[in-house]
Amino acid sequence: MVSTVVSVPEAPSRLLDLLTLHLPYSIPLLRRLQFDSSQRGAATTTARVLYTPASAAEAGPDAAEPPHFTAAYVDLAAGSETQVWIYSSLENGAQLAGDDRDTCVQQIADVVEEVRRMARDEPYRGRGYAKALATKILGESSQEYCRDGWCHADVAVDNASSAAVCTSLNGKQSWIVDWALLLV
Ligand SMILES: CC(C)(COP(=O)(O)OP(=O)(O)OC[C@H]1O[C@@H](n2cnc3c(N)ncnc32)[C@H](O)[C@@H]1OP(=O)(O)O)[C@@H](O)C(=O)NCCC(=O)NCCS
């Protein structure tokens, strides 16, 4: 069953406590969140903390620990730094099977879907930034290593916005490629 993904700007202390209970497996995400929470942290306005289920952050002595949860730190504006840190209780060393495993897998899928939604809903779309940046990069690279006059972009056939950027730059679709993933 699809679960609600909670999205907040800062990690609730209850979530930090929960991740602490899952040490050492949860350490990458826990340290990332603690860094942002600390005095020395450099929390950005673009970062979000996601988790599911909602009870993962319920405070109070009577709040039961959720048997399974997934949490993530997401900063899609982090550029070349790691943009997503994610932890699922599926990772904590216990051998899960059946419904427990399915619950964890569904939670991970729900959090990843929320990240995808965040990427689609970026507030800076449609302001000409991609076109301006592409124009600058193409201008610079044509002097550096594209002296043959050709530029190309690999655009998914269903990516209308990216295709529109290319069209806007006088690009033309020339061929369609099928990719195959070989697991060897
Ligand atoms: C693709 C992406 C970079 C476009 O960024 P953007 O800053 O919104 O694009 P721009 O505002 O510069 O738009 C450039 C042109 O594309 C058009 N365009 C952009 N998004 C569009 C959309 N969803 N539908 C139709 N046209 C669109 C604009 O109208 C503009 O056309 P114009 O120059 O004729 O006026 C952005 O949507 C994005 O980050 N998408 C997710 C990541 C991705 O798909 N990257 C590309 C991988 S190949």
Tens-place pLDDT, residues 22-63: 999 999 999 999 988 776 556 677 889 999 987 777 766 666
Pocket of ligand 1 (CB under 6 A): 119, 125-131, 153, 155, 159-162, 164-165, 168
E-only strand ranges, 18-129: 48-52, 70-74, 84-88
**Between these two residues, 104 and 2, which has the higher pLDDT value?**
104
Does a cis peptide bond (omega within 30 degrees of 0) precede residue 24? yes
Tell me the C-alpha to C-alpha distance, in Å, between residue 8 and each of 88, 157, 170, 184: 18, 33, 41, 40
What's the pLDDT score for residue 115?
93
CA–CA distance, 16 with 13 (Å, rounded to integer): 5
CA–CA distance, 68 with 77 (Å, rounded to integer): 29
CB 166 within 8 A of CB 153: yes
Query: Which residue's CA is minimally distant from atom 24 of ligand 1?
Result: 161
Residues in the chain: 184
What's the pLDDT score for residue 151?
86
The pTM for the full model equals 0.65
Going from the Cα of 31 to the center of ligand 1, the distance in angstroms, rounded, reads 35
Does a cis peptide bond (omega within 30 degrees of 0) precede residue 61? no
What's the pLDDT score for residue 56?
74
149 pLDDT above the threshold of 60: yes
